[in-house]
Chains A and B, each alone.
Chain A
Amino acid sequence: MTDALRLPPDLPDDQLPRVLGEALTGLYTGEPRLPARAGGRTAGLAALHAWTGEGYAGRNFLGGNVSRLSMYLRHGMLGLREVAAHARAVMRGRERDEFLRQLTWAEFYRLVLRQEGARVLGNLEDPKYPARWTGTLPDDVRGARTGLPCADAWVTHLIRDGWLHNHERLWFAAYLVHWRGVDWRAGYALFREHLLDGDIANNALSWQWVASTFSNKPYFMNQENIDRFSGGRWCRTCRAACPFRASYGELETQLFGTQP
């Protein structure tokens, strides 16, 4: 016999945080609470069938209609094939093609993980600029106390919902790696801790894509981009000294030391 702890497989949601919390004492961070979205294939299928994909053309806007199916795909509760089949059946034209192309990123990253194995947890290539990154996540970032309303909101959303819009992930990653000079692995670990869809392949390889260790150039944004795709959510009332307020050319010189 092992010293294993057994758990009943039929705990109702109202008992789940308490009973699972006790069984897993010392094995998790944060408070024992239910996830923002329910897990399981039944819940995943309901989410899939409810999703028509209408408006996916605006997917880069925080208010755009994205599927939020990533946590079900990540845990195999839904399969890439059935999600693709659903999209082919209910979506039309360029929106359908765009969705299927995004879905293919998940397949691509899984296959890169198969090809590279544990190497995806280190730089796959040299960064494309003279980067000097520190390894630890700054406390003000982790605590959502940077003083930048947008950056603090990204961390707050991450911890509260276990999900972030792709654009928020991109902005946060660029902020952390390029503006704060933090090694992408510290951001990867924070995401892996909190994202319901957090995995090795999509997470590590997306960070590497931003950091330019698995892409031809670093990803970065400016204030105009954040303002536009967030629908002015933070910028309109923001009083902070905005580190993102400059042209792409100016930021490129400032962050990467290269001339535009």
Chain B
Amino acid sequence: MTAAQVRRVVWVHGDSLSVTDPALSACPDAPALFVFDRPFLQAVPVAFPRLAFMYQGVRDLAAHRPGPTELRVGAVPDELAAFAAAHHAAELHVTRNFTPDFARIVDGLRAARPDLRVVIHEPERLTSFDGPLRRFFGFWKKVEREVLHGEPAPDFPRRGHR
């Protein structure tokens, strides 16, 4: 089967509320789902304006992408599994974030749907630095040139190169 024939859905989460999100850009026509995470919100207090801000983010991307965008309230892995099943999807695309919740949800989804291929896109980066970190000052010295001029230092190994 070619890539075009594989049925895909996209998971839109709270760090990816833009049409420019890598997973959404990779699958512009695929159905996308955003879930207000019920168990999480029951455990962690969040004031309403923040949730409305996120809703406005989903609304904006729904209005700007060719594919359909849905919103639900529930447990994220369950909703994603049901959404993928309803669309007969073989792949679910998402952009990685580094929160512990992200890893928990992906694990939950993989356990619920071992047959569903989860394709994780890497988030955009400001720098190409990949070494260990400790203090900002040391980090800044390494990335200063790249950030100020928009290009990596000549002696800096580019990502993807050996």
Instruction: Write the residues of chain A forming the contact surface with B, with a CB cutoff of 8 angstroms.
Output: 1-11, 13, 16-17, 20-21, 23-24, 26-44, 71, 74-81, 84-85, 88, 96-97, 100-101, 103-108, 110-115, 117-118, 159, 162, 189, 192-196, 198, 200-201, 215-216
Q: Are A113 and B49 in contact (CB under 8 A)?
A: no
B47 at the interface (CB under 8 A from A): yes
Q: Are B41 and A40 in contact (CB under 8 A)?
A: no
Residues of B86-137 contacting chain A, CB below 8 A: 95, 98-100, 123-127, 129, 132-133, 135-136
Q: Which residues of A contact B79 (CB under 8 A)?
A: 2, 4
Determine the distance from Cα of A28 to Cα of B49 in the docked complex, in whole angstroms. Answer: 9
Chain B positions 56 through 98: 1 when the CB is less than 8 Å from some CB of chain A, otherwise 0: 1111111110000111111100110010000000000001001
Could you say which of B53, B64, B82, B127 contacts A41, with CB atoms under 8 Å apart? B64
Could you say which of A80, A112, A192 contacts B124, with CB atoms under 8 Å apart? A80
Determine the distance from Cα of A105 to Cα of B135 in the docked complex, in whole angstroms. Answer: 10
Q: Are B60 and A42 in contact (CB under 8 A)?
A: yes
Q: Are B44 and A10 in contact (CB under 8 A)?
A: no
Q: Are A104 and B52 in contact (CB under 8 A)?
A: no
User: How many residues does chain B have at the interface if contact means C-beta atoms less than 8 Å apart?
Assistant: 66
Q: Chain A residue with minimal CB distance to B71?
A: A7
Interface-forming stretch among B2-10, B11-19, B154-162? B11-19
Q: Chain A residue with minimal CB distance to B63?
A: A10
Q: Are B133 and A41 in contact (CB under 8 A)?
A: no
Q: Which residues of A contact B20 (CB under 8 A)?
A: 41, 79
Could you say which of A7, A11, A31 contacts B73, with CB atoms under 8 Å apart? A7
Determine the distance from Cα of A198 to Cα of B79 in the docked complex, in whole angstroms. Answer: 25
Q: Are B45 and A4 in contact (CB under 8 A)?
A: no
Determine the distance from Cα of A33 to Cα of B51 in the docked complex, in whole angstroms. Answer: 10
Q: What are 30 contact pairs spanning A and B, CB under 8 A?
A: A1-B82, A8-B71, A9-B69, A10-B63, A11-B55, A24-B73, A27-B38, A28-B46, A28-B47, A28-B48, A41-B19, A76-B123, A77-B57, A78-B18, A79-B18, A84-B126, A100-B147, A101-B144, A101-B147, A106-B126, A108-B136, A110-B98, A111-B133, A111-B139, A112-B133, A162-B47, A162-B50, A193-B46, A196-B49, A215-B135
Q: Are A43 and B98 in contact (CB under 8 A)?
A: no
Determine the distance from Cα of A90 to Cα of B69 in the docked complex, in whole angstroms. Answer: 35
Q: Chain B residue with minimal CB distance to A79?
A: B124
Q: Which residues of A contact B62 (CB under 8 A)?
A: 9-10
Determine the distance from Cα of A77 to Cα of B40 in the docked complex, in whole angstroms. Answer: 22
Q: Are A100 and B148 in contact (CB under 8 A)?
A: yes
